[in-house]
Amino acid sequence: MVKGQKVVIDVNIFISAFGWGGKPLKVMELLERGEIKNCISEEIVKELCTAIAYHKLAFPKKLQTDILEFVLAYSDIHEPAEHLNIASDANDNKFVECALSANARFVITGDKGLLSLNQFRGIKIITAEEFLKMGR
């Protein structure tokens, strides 16, 4: 793994990291150490804000704020130049669009629909576990 490697981290990875830890949390640790750089778009930030406030997650307001602050502190915002229609769920296209505009090499996700794409124009779409194995 190249230091400062650009990636796009799906909202579900942030939710998993802060809610349950595990491999997604290890990805957050790479972000904190500057080993990877997350790229986000305005659309991804909006989805994150909605997701962290889901009633079923029961994340306290302080944790919601901490998650949002963390993501913004360790991410560069990119405006997608191209709109795609490749994912089975149209809401997932934004992650690949962001990766394209940022020249990111990876989309890290737990979303089965996105993962089924495998890759798109040289962007690998992989799980947190697969990403972590690459660096070893």
The domain that holds 40 is classified in CATH as: 3.40.50.1010
| Exposure string over 31-43, b if 16+ CB within 10 A, otherwise e | beeeebbbbbbeb
The reported pLDDT for the residue numbered 2 is 63
At 4 the pLDDT is 82
Q: Are strands 119-120 and 123-126 parallel, antiparallel or unpaired?
A: antiparallel
Residue 42 CA to residue 92 CA, distance in Å, equals 14
Mean pLDDT of 13-34: 96
When pLDDT is averaged across residues 7-18 and rounded to a whole number, the result is: 97
* For the chain, percent of residues with pLDDT exceeding 90: 87
Confidence label for 39 from pLDDT (cuts 50, 70 and 90): very high
> Does residue 110 register a pLDDT over 60?
yes
Range of the domain at 33: 5-134
pLDDT above 50: residue 50? yes
Instruction: State the alpha helices, DSSP H only, in 1-136.
Output: 11-20, 22-32, 42-52, 61-73, 93-102, 112-115, 128-134
Q: Taking 80 as the threshold, does the pLDDT of residue 3 lie above it?
A: no
Domain count for the chain = 1
pLDDT at residue 87, as a whole number: 86
pLDDT at 88: 82
Average pLDDT over all residues of the chain: 94
